[in-house]
Amino acid sequence: MGKKIVVKQTGSPIRRPGKQRATLVGLGLNKMNKSRELEDTPSVRGMVNSISHLVKITKEIG
């Protein structure tokens, strides 16, 4: 088990490109203010950085 991050969706995917919607679904987010605890890997960080205007990292665990 490595480090984990808690990602919270803060923006709506309405009127966003399909790629950004797919990234939200890939992170397990689909509703406003929903949070997920994810492994802190380079691929997850890249996904979060690509939609940083829609999500926020609320906590880093470990």
Domain enclosing residue 36, as ranges: 4-61
pLDDT reported for residue 2? 83
Residue 4 C-alpha from the chain's centroid: 12
> How many domains, in total, are found in the chain?
1
pLDDT band at 1 (very low <50, low <70, confident <90, very high): low
| SS3 sequence of the chain | CCCEEEEEECCCCCCCCHHHHHHHHHCCCCCCCCEEEEECCHHHHHHHHHCCCCEEEEEEEC
pLDDT of 62: 86
Which pTM does this prediction carry? 0.91
Indicate if the alpha-carbon torsion angle 34, 32, 29, 11 is positive or negative: negative
Taking the CA atoms of 11, 23, 47 and 38 in sequence, report the sign of the dihedral they define.
positive
User: What CATH number has the domain bearing residue 35?
Assistant: 3.30.1390.20
